[in-house]
């Protein structure tokens, strides 16, 4: 058997998926939801409560414990982990973990104690800032000013200075907790942290995810010396040189061999960001295919041959694990906003779809909602903005059907408005993530983008991408062949656009732009 394990450490859960390259099947798919399985960490939606809504941090030990749970789930599901020939993974992007003792100093994990208890004493910072954090505007301005401004940052790193990116987060930590900064010997992204747990050694950050730090010089394929210096003193010594996403970074620690039954010396391939991994899982690693990912954050992305920055300053350039680059726009109010409306109006997901498909029409009779329950990344909204426009019933919160359509329409219109740098007139568009199974949401996306929307058979494309990256690195399989076999479209769920909705949404798009500008 030729099995490969892909892990995805995302905002609200950790999932594991196994592909079998001999049979072409996805043979296991487990998911540990933090809020359900690990309530003792007080991160019901993946982050800790904080009085400042701009501060969003998580507990890295929760991710460690989730790793053990998900491997245990695979064993309970009857998976023989001895047949796994390679492991890779993905992590929510930008989040960072700070160590006072290097993973390389660990040598080996002891099988006598849970991993969590062995990782705890390594940390120099108890919490990890994650991608939802927006508390570093001052640090962004300081870093950009030190290197010649945002345009220069964009040209070097693919993004202007961005609050959630790791560099500004590192600078804030250095300023707020200088003693803890001085104790820090090693910094990880969520992705390289998870990989280091598996090998019990320091795994470098890969270039795909490293591009989300405001530290990587895209053309030099290495950290930018001037950005390291502008971010925090001594930072260069706390980061290993970044590696290609296809790098074999070590073998599974004996801890996992003894506890979960993996084979000795199972290779571990560099972990990357969830979006770069998803690009591979969607079979979209060649330029020309756009993807919409509907998760805690919604993202729009596509492969890109050469780095090209977003003239409007919203988008980013990350590394494409299959080579080259990818363009991405990120929307923070993704599933949390959809869940908020579903919960507020007592709609389950079937009723939510029904509200869109059976009870409302494109344009929502002019009813529109600005659904920014948390500070938004795209467009930039530093505080929450929730505003209702339209009929008295809608504005008064008495029209659940229109409310369901409104949140999805604004999200889709905003994606259309703000993702032009990713690609114009994208058609078809592939769609992934939990919400990509909801026919109501797919209908709105098809009509707003006037494009055929195609979900895949596997909806966790990030974990799938990780498993495929492991297969590619170990077996040398071609990317196109892996995509053909594993990233198959679920054609029966594809939705084609209604041409009569085009004019309605052209007008609604203008209305949204005016409202976002406060007109």
Comparison of 79 and 303: residue with beta carbon closer to ligand XUL = 303
**Min CB(458)–ligand XUL separation in Å:** 17
Q: Which is nearer to ligand XUL, 185 or 280 (CB)?
A: 280
Distance in Å, CB of 93 to ligand XUL, minimum: 3
Least Å from the CB of residue 468 to ligand XUL: 18
Question: Residue 121, Cβ neighbours under 10 Å: how many?
Answer: 8
**Nearest-angstrom CA–CA distance, 513 and 123:** 44
Nearest-angstrom CA–CA distance, 468 and 411: 30
Residue closer to ligand XUL, measured from CB, 402 or 431: 431
Site of interaction with ligand XUL (CB under 6 A) = 10-11, 92-94, 131, 164, 212, 273-275, 295, 297, 299, 330
Radius of gyration of the chain (CA): 22
Q: Which is nearer to ligand XUL, 131 or 421 (CB)?
A: 131
Number of alpha carbons in the 13 Å side-chain half-sphere of residue 183: 14
As a whole number of angstroms, the distance between CA 286 and CA 151 comes to: 27
Q: Which is nearer to ligand XUL, 299 or 410 (CB)?
A: 299
For ligand XUL, give the closer residue by CB, 184 or 335: 335
* Among 349, 343, 347, 317, residue whose Cα is nearest residue 330: 317
Length of the chain: 519
CB of 406 vs ligand XUL, minimal distance in Å: 23
Peptide bond into 428 cis (omega under 30): yes
User: Would you say 127 or 299 has its CB closer to ligand XUL?
Assistant: 299
Q: How far is the CB of 14 from ligand XUL (least distance, A)?
A: 13
Q: How far apart are the C-alpha atoms of 158 and 329, rounded to whole Å? A: 12
Burial grade of 517 (CB within 10 A; 0-12, 13-18, 19 or more): exposed
Among candidate residues 129, 208, 127, 219, the one with its CA nearest the CA of residue 167: 129
Q: Can you name the residues that pair with 128 across neighbouring β-strands?
A: 58
Q: Name the 3-class secondary structure at 175.
A: helix
Q: How far apart are CA 362 and CA 45, in angstroms?
A: 31
Please say which residue, 334 or 363, places its beta carbon nearer to ligand XUL: 334
Q: Round to whole Å and give the CA distance between 200 and 184.
A: 18
Could you tell me the smallest distance in angstroms from the CB atom of residue 333 to ligand XUL? 12
Nearer to ligand XUL, 172 or 259 (CB): 172
Nearest to 221 by CA among 246, 241, 238: 241
Residue with tokens 């970074």: 249
Instruction: Provide the minimum distance between the beta carbon of 418 and ligand XUL in the complex, in angstroms, as a whole number.
Output: 13
Tokens 């900064």, located at residue = 181
For 41, 72, 110, 373, the CA distances from 64, given in Å and listed in that order, are 12, 13, 15, 29
* CB 54, min distance to ligand XUL, A: 15
Report, in Å, the least distance between residue 440 CB and ligand XUL: 23
- Least distance to ligand XUL from the beta carbon of 78, Å? 30
Closest CB to ligand XUL among residues 296, 367: 296
């Amino acid at each position: 058997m030729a099995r490969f394990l892909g892990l995805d450490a995302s905002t609200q859960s950790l999932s594991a998926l196994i592909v079998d390259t001999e049979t072409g099947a996805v043979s296991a798919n487990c998911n540990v939801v933090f809020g359900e399985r690990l309530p003792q960490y007080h991160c019901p939606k993946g982050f800790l409560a904080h009085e400042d809504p701009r501060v969003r941090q998580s507990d890295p030990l929760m991710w460690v414990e989730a790793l053990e749970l998900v491997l245990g789930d695979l064993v309970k599901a009857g998976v023989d982990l001895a047949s796994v020939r390679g492991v890779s993974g993905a992590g929510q992007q930008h989040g960072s973990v700070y160590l006072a003792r290097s993973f390389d100093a660990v040598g080996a994990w002891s099988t006598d104690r849970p991993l969590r208890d062995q990782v705890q004493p390594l940390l120099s910072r108890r919490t990890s800032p994650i991608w939802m954090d927006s508390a570093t505007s001052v640090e962004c301005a300081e870093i950009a000013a030190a290197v010649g401004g945002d345009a220069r940052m964009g040209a070097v790193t693919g993004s202007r200075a961005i609050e959630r990116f790791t560099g500004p987060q590192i600078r804030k930590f250095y300023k707020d907790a200088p003693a803890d900064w001085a104790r820090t010997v090693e910094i990880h992204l969520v992705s390289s942290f998870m990989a280091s747990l598996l090998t019990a050694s320091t795994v470098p950050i890969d270039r795909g995810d490293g591009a989300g730090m405001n530290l990587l010089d895209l053309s030099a394929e290495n950290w930018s010396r001037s950005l390291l210096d502008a971010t925090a003193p001594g930072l260069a010594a706390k980061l290993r040189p970044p590696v290609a996403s296809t790098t074999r970074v070590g073998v599974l620690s004996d801890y996992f061999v003894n506890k979960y039954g993996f084979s000795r010396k199972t290779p571990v391939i560099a972990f990357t960001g969830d979006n770069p991994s998803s690009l591979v899982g969607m079979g979209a690693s060649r330029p020309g295919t756009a993807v919409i990912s509907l998760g805690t954050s919604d993202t729009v992305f596509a492969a890109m041959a050469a780095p090209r920055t977003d003239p409007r300053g919203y988008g980013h350039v990350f590394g494409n694990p299959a080579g080259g680059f990818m363009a991405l726009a990120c929307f923070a109010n993704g599933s949390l906003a959809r869940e908020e409306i579903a919960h507020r109006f007592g709609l389950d997901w079937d009723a939510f779809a029904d509200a869109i498909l059976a009870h409302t029409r494109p344009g929502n009779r002019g009813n529109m909602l600005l659904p920014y329950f948390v500070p938004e990344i795209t467009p930039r909204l530093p505080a929450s903005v929730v505003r209702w426009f339209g009929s008295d019933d809608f504005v008064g919160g008495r029209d659940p059907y229109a409310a369901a359509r409104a949140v999805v329409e604004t999200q889709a219109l905003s994606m259309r408005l703000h993702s032009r740098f990713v690609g114009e007139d994208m058609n078809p568009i592939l769609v992934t993530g939990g919400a990509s199974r909801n026919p109501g949401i797919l209908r709105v996306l098809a009509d707003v983008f006037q494009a055929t929307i195609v979900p895949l058979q596997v909806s966790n494309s990030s974990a799938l991408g990780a498993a495929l990256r492991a297969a590619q690195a170990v077996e040398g399989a071609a990317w196109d062949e892996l995509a053909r076999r594993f990233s198959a479209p679920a054609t029966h769920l594809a939705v084609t656009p209604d041409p009569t909705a085009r004019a309605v949404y052209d007008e609604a798009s203008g209305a949204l732009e005016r409202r976002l500008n406060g007109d």
